[in-house]
Amino acid sequence: MDKAAIIGVGQTKYDREKNKDFPELVYEAVRNALDDAGMELNDIDNVVTTSNDFFDGRTIACMGVADAAGSYGKDATNVEGDGTFSAVYGLMRTIGGTYNTTLITAHCKMSEVNPRKLFNQAFDPIYERMLGIDDVGSAGLQARAYMKRFGITDRQVAMIAVKNRNNGSNNPLVPATSYVSVEEVLNSPPLASPIKSLEASSFADGACAIILANQNKANKWAKKPIWVKGVGHCTDTYRLGERDLTYSNALAQAAKKAYQMAGINEPIRDLDVVEITENFSHQELMWYEALGFCRLGDGGKLIEAGSTEMSGELPVNPSGGALSANPVQVTGLARIAEAVLQLRGEAGRHQVSNVKTALAHGTHGICGQSQCVWILSNQEN
């Protein structure tokens, strides 16, 4: 594909921002991204926003942030889903020849919604919604099926929560947390067996923005352009009963496409850092397997070996991931932003050394129905 690069990123803090509304959060992220790129709105050709009527509590929710996103007088569109999918749409616009630069934003305020009622709406209204099932209950079914099939232990799952939450303590954008131990995770209150409260992501408010540019503009504007080497996305079947909950075929297919485009043959060797969207601890183990970091069923062994720790062979979620802060819809775009910071050597206390190639991942839908994978590099060729 034609070359494109990320030349600016901007994030807000991911916390309960009850004193800020949607436009204020979006404006902050957009302003930060423009400043990061050394640009102004006149330098942006088109805008892609990420919003959802259910999450925002209004119809045509994207109109509420149009001015804050800088889309006035520009060609603009909206994606309802995870921010990584909005970025894919923005990428297509950028390399399509019509636009030179694209601004992508995502926002969410989980403090203003009832998650249980909200995620219940994702299920079939005739046969499933009346059961009261939501994201937590369905994740419990997924975790139980996965752990039983492959002999994954509670301790292995808890180790993911420990790794990511402790990594998050070094990230100034997520709520301050104290270090946790495996025992603390295992003894935390149950949510939906076998999931414990510390094994579920921490909902947050926030916004993120990135700026994409074609090769010509990227080399003109950016001091440290981060090049898009490959992308892939795939959506699994809708109903849980028609899906294999123990393995994400959608993620495997998305990763395969992204790897082919980027020339990645052995992910555990060819990647330097990974930012994964893990709404629940057990999902990170599943995503390891679908991303090809290990064989099917060996996700637990990978975390036990320390391979995905900050000092391991392939650090995963040095930012703390979704377990530290999960502003739904923003979470995947934040993974891209964090990967960019790693590739530029600007991640601060959670910086991984010698990063040249990174993977960023986003997911949308119950139990990871839709999956999106980005491969980024600080090397143009």
Give the C-alpha distances (Å, rounded to integers) separating 90 from 83, 96, 99: 10, 10, 10
- The number of domains in the chain is 1
- Mean of pLDDT values over 61-74: 92
* 332 domain residue, yes or no: no
Q: At what angle do helices 281-290 and 154-168 cross, to 10 degrees?
A: 100
Would you say residue 330 has pLDDT above 60?
yes
Residue 91 lies in a domain: yes
Q: How many CB atoms lie within 10 A of CB 124?
A: 12
Give the HSE-up count for residue 323: Cα atoms under 13 Å, Cβ half-sphere: 35
Say if 212 falls within a structural domain: yes
Q: Are 148 and 282 in contact (CB under 8 A)?
A: no
Is residue 213 a part of any domain in this protein? yes
Query: At residue 194, does pLDDT exceed 70?
Result: yes
For residue 285, which amino acid is it? Answer: L
Q: In DSSP terms, which residues pair with 205 in a beta bridge? A: 15, 109
Query: Please, which pLDDT band fits residue 220 given cuts at 50, 70 and 90?
Result: confident
CA 66 to the chain's CA centroid? 23
Question: DSSP H helical segments within the chain, as ranges?
Answer: 22-37, 53-56, 83-95, 115-120, 135-150, 154-168, 182-186, 215-221, 249-262, 267-270, 281-290, 299-304, 321-324, 331-344
Residue 36's domain is classified under what CATH number?
3.40.47.10
Q: How far is residue 343's CA from residue 224's CA, in Å, rounded to a whole number?
A: 9
Identify the pLDDT of residue 1: 57
- Distance separating alpha carbons of residues 31 and 152, to the nearest angstrom: 44
Split at pLDDT 50, 70, 90, the class of 18 is: confident
Query: What pLDDT does 239 receive?
Result: 93
**Which residue range is the domain that position 18 belongs to?**
4-114+204-221
- Greater confidence (144 vs 54) lies with 144
Averaged pLDDT for residues 361-369: 97
Mean pLDDT calculated for residue range 122-144: 95
- What average pLDDT score do residues 242-255 get? 97
Instruction: Let me know if residue 29 belongs to a domain.
Output: yes
Mean pLDDT, range 95-124, rounded to an integer: 93
Convert the pLDDT of each residue in 256-277 to its tens digit.
999 999 999 999 999 999 999 9
Q: What is the pLDDT of residue 229?
A: 97
- Stretch 100-118: mean pLDDT: 93
* Burial class of residue 299 in the structure, from the number of CB atoms within 10 Å of its CB (0-12 exposed, 13-18 middle, 19+ buried): buried
Determine if residue 348 is left, alpha or beta; phi over 0 gives left, psi from -120 to 50 gives alpha, anything else beta: left
User: pLDDT band at 51, cuts 50/70/90?
Assistant: very high
In a domain, 289, yes or no: no
The DSSP 8-state label assigned to residue 238 in this structure reads: S
